């Protein structure tokens, strides 16, 4: 056996850490609260594992301490890799294309070269740390070539691939200049997981059309192998969020926040990364029209919009931030009063406890993306509503809508529908809100992050050894 090798290797673009400066100026590492990271953390804590990923920044790969017993193996990105792989092919080509092309995907040959180069580096890093016959789980759209590259290096491994974002219909995917290579890269895996069955269907159709391989929505024949495909909707650590939200200090903090907001009758909350897929502008427009028509009044109702800056060097994100900030300024200028803004707009990162307090304050949580792979914020809100109150306004185009059917579902492109459904959620009877919330909470209680990991990994690991270990984590 190789020295320091792991039976489970997670490969993701980002390591589960943030670099932050300690009071004495030293750099320290801590677990970051991002979606994917929160999703996998509870699983890895209980398994001898290595996480292969990028530590952020450019330059040589830093040596990092283990976090909660999980080995951190960092992969270096140069300034050019950052520009052409992360900001370029991953976030200006694939990201918009996979989200219904709500912004125009950009194609550059140089970006594709960087994507190949960086994927090769990640595949080599995973090959170096996985034990013979080990299990490697590759995550997300940044690394779609890794399964194929890794199989060429280490045919002994079992390889899984999971796509956290939507997988587009053939009409859109066919735009990609290197579509065949991307599909072949994914087919290096033994099991390809998507958030929704529709994505698995899109993938199978493309494999037939582009690669002329025999495929159903569940099984694809590649050379002498069978690649399995399925939907595994990702989830959250439901119990952890509920426990956090129920803590006395968080409850007290929520009360204080409500007071600081002017003790309004109703608080609407949105928490997003600043991303054009999240439907922030459409939501602001709907809210502004409700203020203008007098259906919603400042003082009775406040909107808290958390929009955490993201991918700030990508042009489309800069333009979006400018537009959102101009619109928030306009709405506050027009409808706010001294000491009573119509929108409380925050671009800071919140720690988990503060986020949980915000969820506790929100009578209506508005999660209205134009397209979203899952949206874990919606699930976190439900988990945090420990007293079974609170209305979730949820876009039909979020993966979460397939599970949280009792949410107030809405088409965010339909401005009138969005306004109407926001009013419905604001005016719903406590009984209706309670019934819906209880049903969603029961669903999340059963379908939490451990259930997700167990179902994906038991399908991947047919010998069952890893899953047995997971079973004992409770």
Active site residues: 164, 372
The answer to whether 304 and 260 have CB atoms below 8 angstroms apart is no
**Phi, psi values for residue 201, rounded to 5°:** -65, -45
Least Cβ distance, residue 290 to ligand G6P (angstroms): 29
CA–CA distance, 301 with 297 (Å, rounded to integer): 6
CA distance 139 to 331: 39
Asked whether the beta carbons of 298 and 335 are under 8 A apart, the reply is yes
- Looking at the Cβ atoms of 144 and 202, the one nearer to ligand G6P is 144
Question: Closest approach of Cβ 275 to ligand G6P, in Å?
Answer: 8
- Residue found under tokens 């290595």: 50
Identify which of residues 335 and 456 has a Cβ nearer to ligand G6P in the complex. 456
374 Cβ neighbours under 8 A, 6+ residues apart: 35, 164, 195, 233, 234, 398, 399, 400
**Phi, psi of 227, rounded to the nearest 5 degrees:** -100, 125
- Work out how close the CB of 11 gets to ligand G6P at its nearest, in angstroms, rounded to a whole number: 12
C-alpha–C-alpha distance, residues 322 and 313, integer Å: 13
Q: Is 390 or 399 the residue whose CB approaches ligand G6P more closely?
A: 399
- State which residue has the least CB distance to ligand G6P: 164
Q: Nearest distance from residue 375's CB to ligand G6P, in Å?
A: 9
Q: How far is the CB of 463 from ligand G6P (least distance, A)?
A: 29
CB atoms within 10 A of CB 22: 8
Q: Residue written as tokens 């209506």?
A: 364
Task: Name the minimum Å distance from CB 96 to ligand G6P.
Answer: 13
DSSP structure class, residue 276: G
Q: Look up residue 198 and give its two tokens.
A: 């529709």
| Residue 133 near residue 158, CB atoms below 8 Å | yes
Q: Shortest Cβ distance from residue 189 to ligand G6P (Å)?
A: 17
Number of residues written out for the chain: 474
For the CA atoms of 54, 350, 249, 429, what is the dihedral angle to 10 degrees? -120
Q: Rg (Cα) of the chain, in Å, rounded?
A: 22
Indicate if the alpha-carbon torsion angle 222, 453, 126, 6 is positive or negative: negative
Residue 11 or 433: which CB sits closer to ligand G6P?
A: 11
Tell me how far apart the alpha carbons of residues 394 and 371 are, in angstroms, rounded to a whole number: 11
Residue 212 Rama label (left phi>0; alpha psi -120 to 50; beta): left
Binding site for ligand G6P (CB under 6 A): 13-14, 34-36, 140, 164-165, 310-311
In this complex, which beta carbon is closest to ligand G6P, that of residue 115 or of residue 287? 115
Identify which of residues 164 and 447 has a Cβ nearer to ligand G6P in the complex. 164
Axis crossing angle, helix 280-293 with helix 415-427, rounded to the nearest 10: 70
Q: Residue 83: name the closest of 310, 313, 309, 276 by CA.
A: 313
The minimum distance between CB 157 and ligand G6P, in angstroms, equals 22
Q: Which is nearer to ligand G6P, 33 or 48 (CB)?
A: 33
Least Cα distance to 399 among 366, 368, 370, 374 occurs for 374
Euclidean distance between the first and the last CA atom of the chain, given in angstroms as a whole number: 30
**Cβ at position 372, least distance to ligand G6P in Å:** 9
Residue with smaller CB distance to ligand G6P, 39 or 342: 39
Distances (CA, A) of 310 to 15, 275, 285, 307, 326: 16, 7, 22, 9, 18
Between residues 40 and 437, which has the closer beta carbon with respect to ligand G6P?
40
The 10 Å Cβ neighbour count of residue 239 is 16
């Amino acid at each position: 056996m190789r020295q320091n090798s792991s039976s489970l290797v997670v490969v993701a673009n980002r390591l589960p850490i943030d670099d932050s400066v300690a009071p004495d100026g030293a750099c320290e590492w801590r677990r970051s609260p991002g979606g994917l990271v929160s999703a996998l953390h509870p699983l890895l804590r209980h398994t001898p594992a290595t996480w292969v990923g990028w530590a952020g920044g450019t330059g040589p790969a830093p040596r990092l301490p283990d976090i909660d017993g999980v080995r951190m193996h960092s992969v270096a990105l140069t300034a050019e890799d950052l520009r052409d792989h992360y900001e370029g092919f991953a976030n200006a080509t694939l990201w918009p294309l996979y989200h219904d092309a709500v912004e125009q995907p950009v194609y550059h040959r140089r970006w594709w070269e960087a994507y190949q180069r960086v994927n090769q580096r990640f595949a080599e890093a995973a090959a170096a740390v996985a034990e013979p016959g080990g299990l490697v789980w590759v995550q997300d759209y940044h690394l779609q070539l890794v399964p194929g590259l890794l199989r060429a290096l280490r045919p002994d491994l079992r390889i899984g691939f999971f796509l956290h974002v939507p997988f587009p219909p053939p009409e859109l995917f066919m735009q990609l200049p290197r579509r065949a290579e991307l599909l072949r890269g994914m087919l290096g895996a033994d099991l390809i997981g998507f958030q929704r069955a529709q994505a698995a269907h899109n993938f199978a159709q493309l494999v037939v059309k582009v690669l002329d391989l025999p495929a159903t929505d569940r099984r694809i024949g590649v050379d002498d192998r069978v690649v399995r495909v399925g939907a595994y909707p990702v989830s959250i650590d439901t119990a952890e969020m509920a426990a956090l939200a129920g803590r006395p200090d968080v409850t007290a903090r929520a009360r204080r926040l409500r007071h600081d907001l002017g003790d309004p009758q109703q608080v609407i909350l949105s928490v997003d990364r600043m991303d054009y897929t999240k439907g922030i502008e459409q939501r602001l427009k709907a809210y502004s029209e409700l203020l203008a028509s007098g259906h919603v009044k400042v003082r009775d109702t406040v909107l808290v919009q958390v929009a955490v800056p993201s991918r700030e060097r990508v042009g489309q994100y800069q333009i979006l931030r400018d537009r959102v900030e101009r619109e928030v300024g306009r709405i506050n200028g027009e409808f706010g009063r001294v000491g009573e803004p119509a929108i409380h707009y925050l671009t800071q990162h919140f720690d988990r406890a503060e986020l949980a307090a915000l969820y506790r304050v929100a009578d209506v949580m508005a999660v209205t993306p134009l397209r979203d792979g899952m949206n874990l914020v919606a699930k976190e809100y439900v988990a945090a509503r420990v007293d079974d109150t609170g209305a979730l306004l949820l876009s039909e185009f979020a993966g979460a809508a397939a599970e949280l059917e009792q949410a107030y579902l809405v088409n965010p492109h339909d401005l009138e529908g969005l306004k109407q459904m926001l009013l419905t959620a604001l005016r719903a009877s406590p009984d209706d809100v309670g019934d819906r919330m209880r049903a969603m909470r029961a669903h999340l209680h059963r379908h939490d992050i451990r259930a997700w990991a167990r179902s994906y990994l038991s399908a991947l690991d047919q010998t069952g050894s890893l899953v047995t270990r997971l079973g004992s984590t409770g």
